[in-house]
Structure 1
């Protein structure tokens, strides 16, 4: 089966979706797309079900001893202010991405380094392990303290100190400050299909009319005849309905059926085009159903081409020129916000790359975070969301040519023929007008290198219909450059 697609920049990675199932087992992820490019050459590749795609169209987941000590004496005179995020002064507020000064000493986010906890084994194992560790540590700490008191002849080895109001208040711009402001606007989404199956994902308040932005694969199972519910951080739950969804972009907008009483404070949107590698990130979601979970990291890469399978079960794929982050993202984080150091949304968390093609969580077959998470840039997600709110139908830019979606070569190869023997280059379409022919290998779109069909799709989909782009292609060993005006296709079918 073949369809029309467009590409993205740099190497690609494919990852399973990150919605969290309500049942013990996660359905197997549809066939994965090939990793595109050298930077992910050590990661498992994923391949979409289709072998060809029409550019721009969607193809038819030892316990610690705690003993208080006397705090060190402080020098006389005024004391420096409490350090901010990464030991930096408080971050300025406002939208857009912001760099963070280099980290100087201690652990991440100004926390002293700690030994890593033991590996968790599934959701049940996770909760049990945390509770058990806390009880064991408390028991050992108390026992050792009593033993030391008996040896020294004193009644206690614990030293009390008065509270420091500076440490009790959270510095503006700190992770705690960002989380405190954002959590009331992040929701947990429960999607249930007509046959009772469903899963858990995340979304966030988009506007005061009750629109929630999330991933298509989070709500796909309930889009036709199922049920959607949205739960806020205060525990209040609301019924919701799908306003519109774009399978190819993996973006969906839902709306509360009756928003009366809901605290609708839209999250501020940043500018994903200004994000820099190394910028601090905060991810919020419901990994494995644990609502309101906050994790931190950095932007590890930009414009990462990702092709990941759709949650609707149709074997189709979505494509993104993604922001890559090492903030911990797991099943259930899908649709949640990726925030910058100013608390503005720079991406919508959508997919993860997993070692060994998933598994590793108590044998449940669920993929877990290995520090390779991917988010849809908010500039693109916002454009798609506005389109869905306006007329409920997604619009995709196209070049009017079928490209090979399976082989990762030195570019995107225009296929010999299209679906059911149809021409691979649409007569009178953008590619035809630009002089492209079957067998041409597209190697660059503007300044972005193209190394495969999925890369071409994800990059073209960062544009709008009517945009003029420059394509570089090779034919019979000769390189040629041509301008092309992108066409459009409405809907996912």
Structure 2
């Protein structure tokens, strides 16, 4: 097996992530990952039984590198290697640890979580009702002799007026009919709920791999539109490393309206964002925010029984994203899709002891430029293709970059003979600190950044050797499939 773009995790495994957006996790003490192309092996993660895929990122430990932490528990040289330092939890209805915290168990489908919320609301309503009744009686009594009404009616209200193009209401009105809720179920009946959106008129739906992972082998998928129409669906292809999947509706309707895809490279920090999904099973929920960072290195477990990890150079947003938002669109102010909501970072165990955390304003989305390329490849061949440099890098924290290990996964050479890195003159022990103009502070960051390219692309790597800084050009190779 090629060690290209793999990480070699020495004694650290990534905790399981529920069906909620991923959250970054603590980095292992020493780990290596065959640089780009082979996701690390992680422990199995229970799917959220609340029915909402979305990975949750745990809190960042003090002194941890920005957005990265190595996975714990992975066997040395095992494939795929464990995820890197920052491992967000999925946004499908489960939660995981990340950036210094451990993964949390997803909330059960049935239980007191939602009941408690309803009860709290009911009590508040009763109290308000009592107070309101008293005030109402006093007002009626004191104004018993008055005549006429002081009520003022608005000239326009609700649906009576037109929303201008570009407003959140107008964008939501256009996007909601093409955003769907996905229910995934394995052969044993396990599964959860996530989100997806219409990609083309042929009935292809773009979503996260961890949303449909349970249904890949003999499971069931159903897709429900906001108008209540429900369709069975099948997995066309899934890319675990990218956390992208394409499913197709059976007997797709002829009036499908694909969402327009934007250009994630042109997104700027501070741009407005709109997220649509089914947080905690509440379908067709719209939230807003901004792009709070770009090129955020994130590693997250997929919540499947194989327990592998995914890597992304993510768009960070403070739009509220919760378990169930996974796979849903992140839109810009023009209503174009700029990302796929995939992970969140969590700061606690959630309310009411459910073990499932909610949004703290740190959500992560796969840039749509990358997701589109992956989706098109999946539709053509059913298999993902990963760009690789043919070297194994450490997933350990504090290396000051992506350090090429002394040995690759399974005892293979750390630098593949005749591979891209070998041809470029890279050697074990070299520490890669930049790819083109993007700074690299860890193995996971290098993996996520390389995966934003295509096989055959030429990139410039800056690295240090024996205290000296050097640069070299590398033409990326390729690896097909996730195994």
TM range (shorter): 0.7 to 0.9
Q: How does 1:327-338 map to 2 (within 5 A)?
A: 327-338=319-330
Q: 1:194 aligns with which of 163, 187, 193?
A: 187
Contact 1:200 1:218 in 2 (8 A): yes
Superposition deviation, residue 164 in structure 1: 2.0
Q: How does 1:374-413 map to 2 (within 5 A)?
A: 374-413=364-403
Superposition deviation, residue 176 in structure 1: 1.3
Q: Deviations over 1:305-341 (max 9, x none)?
A: 1001112132311000101011111110000001111
* Unmatched segments (≥5 aa) in structure 1: 8-13, 62-120
Q: How does 1:89-108 map to 2 (within 5 A)?
A: none
Superposition deviation, residue 260 in structure 1: 3.5
Superposition deviation, residue 150 in structure 1: 1.8
Q: Which residue of 2 aligns with 1:118?
A: none
Q: How high is the TM-score relative to the length of structure 1?
A: 0.78
Q: 1:271 aligns with which of 250, 263, 283?
A: 263
User: CA–CA distance in 2 between the matches of 1:35 and 1:388?
Assistant: 37
Contact 2:56 2:323 in 1 (8 A): no
Cα RMSD after superposing both structures = 3.4
Q: Which residue of 1 aligns with 2:100?
A: none
Provide the aligned length of Structure 1 versus Structure 2. Answer: 423
Q: How high is the TM-score relative to the length of structure 2?
A: 0.79
Q: 1:33 to 1:389 in 2, by over 3 A?
A: farther
Q: 1:448 aligns with which of 438, 447, 468?
A: 438
User: CA–CA distance in 1 between the matches of 2:313 and 2:387?
Assistant: 14
SS of the counterpart of 2:205? Answer: strand
Contact 1:2 1:402 in 2 (8 A): no
Q: Which residue of 2 aligns with 1:165?
A: 156
Contact 1:396 1:461 in 2 (8 A): yes
**Rg larger in structure:** 1
Q: How does 1:288-299 map to 2 (within 5 A)?
A: 288-299=280-291
Contact 1:214 1:336 in 2 (8 A): yes
Superposition deviation, residue 288 in structure 1: 0.7
Q: 1:402 to 1:30 in 2, by over 3 A?
A: farther
Contact 1:48 1:316 in 2 (8 A): no
User: CA–CA distance in 2 between the matches of 1:17 and 1:279?
Assistant: 29
* Unmatched segments (≥5 aa) in structure 2: 8-14, 22-46, 84-88, 90-111
User: CA–CA distance in 2 between the matches of 1:2 and 1:154?
Assistant: 89
SS of the counterpart of 2:290? Answer: strand
Q: Which residue of 1 aligns with 2:273?
A: 281
Superposition deviation, residue 252 in structure 1: 0.2
Contact 2:460 2:471 in 1 (8 A): yes
**2:460 equivalent to 1:479:** no
**2:29 equivalent to 1:5:** no
Q: Deviations over 1:360-404 (max 9, x none)?
A: 232121121111000001111111111111111100000000001
Contact 2:241 2:309 in 1 (8 A): yes
User: CA–CA distance in 2 between the matches of 1:36 and 1:52?
Assistant: 26
Q: 1:200 to 1:3 in 2, by over 3 A?
A: farther
Q: Which residue of 2 aligns with 1:205?
A: 198
Q: Which residue of 1 aligns with 2:418?
A: 428
